[in-house]
Amino acid sequence: MQSEKQSNSLIKRILQSISEAALIPFLAILTAVVIGGIIILLVGGDPIRAYTGLIQGSMGSRKAWSETAVWATPYIFAGLAVALAFKGGLFNIGAEGQLAVGAVFSALIGYALPEWLGFDLPVYIHLPLAIFTGMLTGGIWASIVGFLKAYTGGHEVINTIMMNYIALNTTSYLLNGVMKDKSPTNVIARTPLIAESARMPEIFEGLRVHWGFVLALFVALFIWWLLNKTTLGFEIRTVGLNPDAAKYAGINVKRTIVITMLFSGMLAGLAGSIEVTGLNYRHELGFSIGYGLDAIAIALLGKSHPLGVVLASFLFAAMRNGATRMQFLTQLPVDLISMLQALILLFVAADAIIRYIYRIKAKGERVVLTRGWGG
């Protein structure tokens, strides 16, 4: 009797905390949808048809669900990358560049390794190797910024952005040069197709959703475990909350900053390599653009919690996926989605506005996401 009561109240507590955590994001989405509808009206569109199109296009059929999952896969990885950095007190705006670097190197291993070795590799070696290379290079790319932050104080916000441009320029150089697809009909800056042995198998016959999606869910679980159940996770969170306290508690703050950026970049690199090995089978210039900002929005919307990130990724994926159907029904440009997402982000980031509109009292302490230039 006693224990039943306890477990009841535990479930109640969990439900309560979930509903409390989800309340602000939910209201933020609602408010953004309403304002988005007003904007659609202002430019002469039909908001009801637009939103119907969005829902139909993203969840209306088996294929629509599959495509939403396809969109969600890189979002989950990239969103986790930003979320993990947030937990460590770092603002990683560079997911885009890390993703591009990961994708390029994953593709390189995918198409060139058999040539270099002179023989074909079995899939259970080639595929993990391609994924791992992408993950690692993305991580190294980000850890440069972590290193600069920890040892010179160069602010990660500007440095990750600079690294984005450096990544974009370098991949343009490579994809237009040595790594360009040499087939005579190709005029696009893209790599050749990767070998069959570096491709991920599909889950269902005829649908594009691939095992990378399942991997993304597992990685989200792993990050939750890492953050909450391991010493490293504790160190990352402590440095994120209060680096001074962490220092006095004997945590190597500088090392933790570098490791946080390394892990964050590895997640973003994974986003790139999974797209290459699971979906596109090559890297094409321009594919990575926009992921960095989306990832930030997803991490904020998901409150930097792995489960929240997965849910937010689904929402963003559904919007991107449904946008085509929306455009078909209403002739509104797909870019409308970017604006909707910006509005959602605005209200999530500025939850004070939402609290003000809906008269909700603030509870608990404010979560420190970033600090000024002093770091």
Partner 1 sequence: MDWKRFSFIGVIIVVLFSLVVMVGQVKQPPLLIITSMLATTIAVATPLTLGALSGVFCERSGVVNIGIEGMMLSAAFFGWLGGIYMYNLYGFAPGVSIAVGVFVAILTGAIMALLLAVLSITFKVDQIIGGTVINILAVGLTGFLNRQLFFGKGSVFGGTVPASPGVLPTIHVPITELFTSICGTSATCLESVKAINRVFDQKPVAISAILLVFISHYILFNTRWGLRTRAVGEHPKAADTVGINVVKMRYANVLIGGMFAGLAGAYFTIESVPSFEPLLTNGRGFISLAAMIFGNWTPIGAWAAALVFGASQALLINMQIFRDVIPPQWSFLQESYIVGLTPYILTMFILTGIIGKTTPPAADGVPYEK
SS3 of the chain: the string is CHHHHHHHHHHHHHHHHHHHHHHHHHHHHHHHHHHHHHHHHHCCCCHHHHHHHHHHHHHCCHHHHHHHHHHHHHHHHHHHHHHHHHHCCCCCCCHHHHHHHHHHHHHHHHHHHHHHHCCCCCHHHHHHHHHHHHHHHHHHHHHHHHHHHHHHCCCHHHHHHHHHHHHHHHHHHHHHCCCCCCCCCCCCCECCCCCHHHCCCECCCCCCCEHHHHHHHHHHHHHHHHHHHCHHHHHHHHHHHCHHHHHHCCCCHHHHHHHHHHHHHHHHHHHHHHHHHHHHCCCECCCCCCHHHHHHHHHHHCCCCHHHHHHHHHHHHHHHHHHHHHHHHHCCCCCHHHHHHHHHHHHHHCHHHHHHHHCCCCCCCCCCCCCCCCC
Judged by CB under 8 A, does residue 209 bind partner 1? no
Closest to partner 1 by CB, 208 or 355: 355
To partner 1, the closest distance from the beta carbon of 325 in angstroms equals 16
Closest to partner 1 by CB, 172 or 252: 172
Closest to partner 1 by CB, 161 or 193: 161
Choices 102-110, 114-122, 272-280, 343-351; region in contact with partner 1 by CB under 8 A: 343-351
Judged by CB under 8 A, does residue 188 bind partner 1? no
One residue of 126, 155, 199, 283 binding partner 1 per CB under 8 A = 155
Closest to partner 1 by CB, 120 or 335: 335
To partner 1, the closest distance from the beta carbon of 23 in angstroms equals 18
To partner 1, the closest distance from the beta carbon of 89 in angstroms equals 12
Distances (CA, A) of 126 to 136, 230, 297: 15, 31, 34
To partner 1, the closest distance from the beta carbon of 44 in angstroms equals 5
Considering only residues 350 through 369, tell me which ones interact with partner 1, judged by CB under 8 A: 350, 352-353, 356, 368-369
One residue of 27, 81, 226, 296 binding partner 1 per CB under 8 A = 296
Judged by CB under 8 A, does residue 44 bind partner 1? yes
What is the widest separation between alpha-carbon atoms in the chain?
76
Closest to partner 1 by CB, 7 or 169: 169
Judged by CB under 8 A, does residue 286 bind partner 1? no
Judged by CB under 8 A, does residue 141 bind partner 1? no
Considering only residues 214 through 243, tell me which ones interact with partner 1, judged by CB under 8 A: none
One residue of 35, 91, 203, 316 binding partner 1 per CB under 8 A = 91
Query: Which residues contact partner 1 (rule: CB under 8 A)?
Result: 43-45, 91, 93, 148, 152-155, 157-159, 161-166, 169-170, 172-173, 176, 289, 293, 296-297, 300, 330-333, 335-336, 338-343, 345-346, 349-350, 352-353, 356, 368-374
